[in-house]
Amino acid sequence: MKANTLRITEIFYSLQGESRTLGLPTVFVRLTGCPLRCVYCDTEYAFHGGERRELDDILAEVAQYSPRYICVTGGEPLAQPECLSLLTALCDAGYEVSLETSGALPIEKVDARVSRVMDLKTPASGEMHRNLMDNIPFLTDHDQVKFVLCNREDYDWARFQLDSYQLNKRAGEVLFSPSFGQLSATDLANWIVTDNLPVRFQMQLHKILWNDAAGH
> Residues marked as binding for S-adenosyl-L-methionine?
40-42, 75
Rounded CA separation 54/90 (Å): 14
Is 23:16 a contact under the CB 8 Å cutoff? Answer: yes
Q: Which residues are annotated as part of the binding site?
A: 15-17, 30, 34, 38, 40-43, 73, 75
Given strand 144-149, what is the order of strands in its sheet?
Answer: 51-54, 5-15, 25-31, 69-73, 96-101, 115-119, 144-149, 173-178, 200-201
Q: Which residues are annotated as part of the binding site for substrate?
A: 15-17, 30, 73
Q: Which residues are annotated as part of the binding site for Mg(2+)?
A: 43
Q: Which residues are annotated as part of the binding site for [4Fe-4S] cluster?
A: 34, 38, 41
